[in-house]
A = this chain, B = another copy of it.
Amino acid sequence: MPSKPRAVTLADIARLANTTTPTVSKVLNGKPGVSDETRSLVEATIQKTGYQPRATRRQTAPLIEVLCYEIDSPFGSEVVAHIEQASRQGGFGMVLTGANADNLPHPGWVDDVVSRQPVGVVLIACRLPEADRKRLRSRDIRIVAIDPAGTPAPDIPSIGSADWKGGYLATRHLIDLGHRRIGIITGPADMMASAARQSGYTAALEAAGIPIEPSLIRPGQFHHADGLAEGLTLLSRPDRPTAIFASSDLYALGVYEAARSLGIDIPDQLSVVGYDDLRIAQWAGPPLTTVHVPLARMAQDAVHMIQRLGGEPELSSSRTDIETTLVIRASTTVPTKVSK
């Protein structure tokens, strides 16, 4: 950005973009009645000049926008609840919008956000096209990502948890119990959090001198159906694993169902470790041993980051990882009762 953004006025932008001040205002506020061509030109000029429309920020109760990948997923809904609480305590209203199946915003979302003039945007397991990021930046709307989907954008600070350590702790717990054949159901390969969990799994096995068996590493998209399907695949093998590290609680419930349908008892014949420590982990039968992810803390940090960054001229890229811990419940035990 240029060194003196405050000097730029609406009139400057109108002149540079060869249009009128009211038209620039319409573009700034996401209003209709501007041709695509003019809008693009004005957008480019706003970004080029680093125009900062702080003085026009609405004076009503301030808003934080949340874009969430699956609002009604156990993970999404718990993070949203924590952000709502942190926002409320900070004096913000929270506007919540669901993303599309690719974890991207629906068409028109960024226009609506611009028109609502929030203080900031929190992305939950979502990503934004570069054009949207630029538009938000040009309006001084800050962006923070929680567990970003895909490769994290270099210019968005993100908050996650210690995924590698979580994967390591989960696997190490199973090894300590005596398990040697340990399967894993991983998340999307392009998601940093899932890659880190898998890497923790691999490191724990290697540290114990247990060879990595690629056929025990199964893919998924963090859905219950993946846990069920991959659980069936793993448990139908004659040399089935005695333990599965399901790298999400929802996977673990799918594995439970696979085991139930095959008549395999948890934990006596199969140990299962989940990931996230959502409330469904406590409600599972048996209650699930899992990696606790501090969602409340992550949500608070996201909101605080938006508040703290509010007055600063420029964002620096950063990544905050919050500590994970293992919560041992009833789904893991020694592998004594399996003959193999």
Question: Which B residues are in CB contact (< 8 Å) with A88?
Answer: 97-98, 106
Question: Which B residues are in CB contact (< 8 Å) with A115?
Answer: 60-61
Distance (Å) between the CB of A296 and the closest chain B CB? 11
Question: Which B residues are in CB contact (< 8 Å) with A256?
Answer: 285
Distance (Å) between the CB of A27 and the closest chain B CB? 14
Please, how many residues of chain A have a CB less than 8 angstroms from a CB on the other chain?
47
Copies of this chain, how many?
2
Distance (Å) between the CB of A150 and the closest chain B CB? 22
A84 contacts the other chain (CB 8 A):
yes
Query: Per a CB cutoff under 8 Å, which of B61, B71, B260, B285 touches A77?
Result: B71
Question: Which B residues are in CB contact (< 8 Å) with A112?
Answer: 61, 93
- Say whether A30 contacts B60, CB under 8 Å: yes
Distance (Å) between the CB of A222 and the closest chain B CB? 14
A96 contacts the other chain (CB 8 A):
yes
- Say whether A97 contacts B106, CB under 8 Å: no
A80 contacts the other chain (CB 8 A):
yes
Chain A residues engaging chain B, CB cutoff 8 angstroms: 29-31, 58-61, 63, 70-72, 74, 76-78, 80-82, 84-85, 88, 93-98, 106, 111-112, 115-117, 224, 250, 253-254, 256-257, 260, 279-280, 282-283, 285-287
